[in-house]
Chain A
Amino acid sequence: MDYTPVKEDIATEEFWVNMGPQHPSTHGVLRLELKLSGETVVDSIVHIGYLHRSIEKIAEKRTYTQFIPFTDRLDYLASMNNNLAYVLAAEKLMGIEANDRAKYIRVIMAELGRIASHLFGITTFTQDLGAFATPLFYGMREREKIVELFDDICGQRLTYNYMRIGGVSRDLPNGADDKIKKIISYMRPKIDDLEAMFSKNRIFTARTKGIGVLTAEKAVSYSVTGPNLRASGVKWDLRKDEPYLVYDKFDFNIPTGKNGDAWDRYKVRMDEMRESLRIAEQAVLGLPEGDPTVKAGKIFRPAPGQAYMRSENPRGELGFYIVSDGSPIPYRMKIRSPSFSNIAVLPELINGLKVADAVCVLGSLDVVMGEIDR
């Protein structure tokens, strides 16, 4: 949809609206400058940096283990997955490998974390569409089950700090695997319920179908990853294409979209939650025996060198590039966060749309400011 100015007798004027950093639907402290002609967005500028905490610099002052809690603060809705991505990178740098039980526990945690994150992403998206708080509360109720499980396992509800280099911080407590199975069987009908609430809703489809179309070429050229990329029809998922941990042992599909519009992005997330449940179920059934924990307080001194490891986070590829100079602290760390690339495509999508659709597209991209600004 291209914007064409209409010739009118009344003198009209385009104006800039500042959306954020304090705005109900900018998902944190994103600031958008929108140039509006009436209700239509003519031009837009994305400003980031309001949540910058210099996490990459902090990494240069912490030992490898000490840095794990900081990764919780990147994408704070998927802390478990961030933990995992970081320890995988550190393990690659040090040439360590976790044992099988640790790997299976990591997979379960990562997939449950993905479901929790997608529940939040989808329901805040519908909140942006004006379904005020009701779907959000339903999503939170479901997410609460996962958060409670994580609380049982690692003692935290949001910033888990659970993964360790070479393992996990503690083994699953007694009865945790039954609890996980129970959550999986509880979650299936609830996801169907949530989908029933939107997928057949005329207003919801009218608001999302054909809105903010991201073509496959554009998605690739902006290096958009995760569900946003798959919604554009590109079948790229690191769990399948570059398997890490034990993902190659499990049977699961990669849901993709066709058009790359807001609807597809929503639908891909919905389907991904079901696939995550399948993975988690297979993992918990095949959970091997052993001791997944590692000795606490161990100081790692990796040989000088560098390593880059990426893994599939709920929002896309999260990569850690670590340079070691042989000391117990990293010489340099660079974090490649998925939301940073995903938000970059936003101006391309919203120019020419209505304000309401701009909010819809932003919600459908499901960005988290914590990892954009780092």
Chain B
Amino acid sequence: MTISILTFIIMIIVGVAALVFIAVSAMFLIWWERKVSAHIQTRYGPMRVGWHGALQSVADVIKLLLKENITPAGVDMLAWWFAPFFAVVPSVMVFALAGRDLNIGALYIMALTSICVLGIFMAGWGSNNKYSLLGGMRSAAQIISYEIPLILALVTAVMFAGTLSMQKIVEAQKDMWFVFHPNMAVAFLIFLIAGTAEVNRTPFDIPEAESELVAGFHTEYSGMKFAMFFLGEYTNMFIISALAAALFLGGWNGPFLPPVIWFLIKTYGIVTLLMWIRWTLPRLRVDQLMGFAWKVLTPLAFANLAVAGWVLLR
């Protein structure tokens, strides 16, 4: 296969554009989260840098870029250095799907988002810090547990659409969003709960439980490495919300407005919902969390899947 220079240049431009979108999106989400949480908590949040602190994230990124990159003594160099990349690169790779039709799109996304746990576990192990180790272990256990109901909920959507291609799943919802089907409504709830756990947010934020583990797996990271984890976390949140919007809320289908706008509205709506939950609820304990995943969510997802199969074949 030969690639012409022109195609190569276009690929680079598209790639850079995707990276810029990811970075800007994460920065926007960080600002948005700070604003949402502030207004929930009777505060204003950032107000000084730009209009209502709109440039606060830019200032933070500049600060993080200029910070010294501290490497504590006794770290496992390989794991320590590669962990931030493992946390962020898979999430970035998901964006390769944007605007493209891959016949196994749903599978591709789930496979990539599962890799992030590796980065978190490497960070926990490599930091040579007991808090990080606990955070990494919790994270591995949690993400693996919640992956199962998450995928089962996704499979329900795949069954209804009859395809793994994200494009076709969205097109199947042209007339009616999947979420209005009772089966899919249950799947949507399971997906949201498991998704919240997947991106480590309250009430499932035990990997970085501040009141217990200081900062969990990224306790020892500073500067740009820390920023990478942050970027990965917010990109993951965007991906989970975008997936929920595409699988259950009809993706880019909607009247009047252009499709891209509809898609972003739905995605950011779910992101805001996740933030709302985060700033309201306390955190579960690690064993309660596991119990909930294995005793409640997974059986429910399986039952839902079986019912969906029966409904489809009836």
- Using A24-B210, A359-B211 as known contacts, say yes or no to A126 and B41 having CB atoms under 8 A apart: no
A128: nearest chain-B partner, CB-CB: B211
A207 located at the interface, meaning its Cβ lies under 8 Å from any Cβ of chain B in the complex: yes
B interface residues with partner A (beta carbon < 8 Å): 37, 40-43, 130-131, 134, 137-138, 202-203, 205-206, 209-214, 278-288
Looking at the complex, which of A78-86, A132-140, A156-164 is the stretch in contact with chain B? A132-140
How far apart sit A133 and B134, CA to CA, in the bound complex (Å)?
23
Sorted nearest first, the 4 A-B pairs with minimum C-beta distance are A130-B283, A25-B211, A137-B41, A131-B282
Interchain CB contact (< 8 A) of A130 among B41, B130, B137, B202: B202
- Do residues B211 and A354 form an inter-chain contact, with CB atoms below 8 A? no
Shortest distance in angstroms between B83's beta carbon and chain A's nearest beta carbon?
21
- Do residues A356 and B286 form an inter-chain contact, with CB atoms below 8 A? yes
Task: Please list 19 pairs of residues, one from A and one from B, whose beta carbons are closer than 8 Å in the complex, sorted by A's number.
Answer: A24-B211, A25-B211, A36-B134, A126-B282, A130-B210, A131-B280, A131-B281, A131-B282, A134-B40, A138-B41, A203-B203, A203-B281, A203-B283, A204-B282, A354-B285, A354-B286, A354-B287, A355-B213, A356-B212
Shortest distance in angstroms between A278's beta carbon and chain B's nearest beta carbon?
27
Q: How many residues of A contact B (CB 8 A)?
A: 31
- Using A23-B214, A24-B214, A25-B211 as known contacts, say yes or no to A357 and B285 having CB atoms under 8 A apart: yes
- Do residues B42 and A132 form an inter-chain contact, with CB atoms below 8 A? no
- Chain A residues near B202 (CB, 8 Å)? 130-132
- Chain A residues near B130 (CB, 8 Å)? 15, 17, 36
- Do residues B209 and A39 form an inter-chain contact, with CB atoms below 8 A? no
A215 located at the interface, meaning its Cβ lies under 8 Å from any Cβ of chain B in the complex: no
A127 located at the interface, meaning its Cβ lies under 8 Å from any Cβ of chain B in the complex: yes
- Using A15-B130, A24-B211 as known contacts, say yes or no to A206 and B288 having CB atoms under 8 A apart: yes
- Do residues A134 and B279 form an inter-chain contact, with CB atoms below 8 A? yes
Shortest distance in angstroms between A44's beta carbon and chain B's nearest beta carbon?
14
- Chain A residues near B138 (CB, 8 Å)? 39
- Using A141-B42, A201-B281 as known contacts, say yes or no to A132 and B286 having CB atoms under 8 A apart: no
A129 located at the interface, meaning its Cβ lies under 8 Å from any Cβ of chain B in the complex: yes
A211: nearest chain-B partner, CB-CB: B285
Interchain CB contact (< 8 A) of B280 among A134, A137, A363: A134
How far apart sit A356 and B278, CA to CA, in the bound complex (Å)?
18
How far apart sit A127 and B41, CA to CA, in the bound complex (Å)?
13
- Do residues A39 and B280 form an inter-chain contact, with CB atoms below 8 A? no
Shortest distance in angstroms between B128's beta carbon and chain A's nearest beta carbon?
12
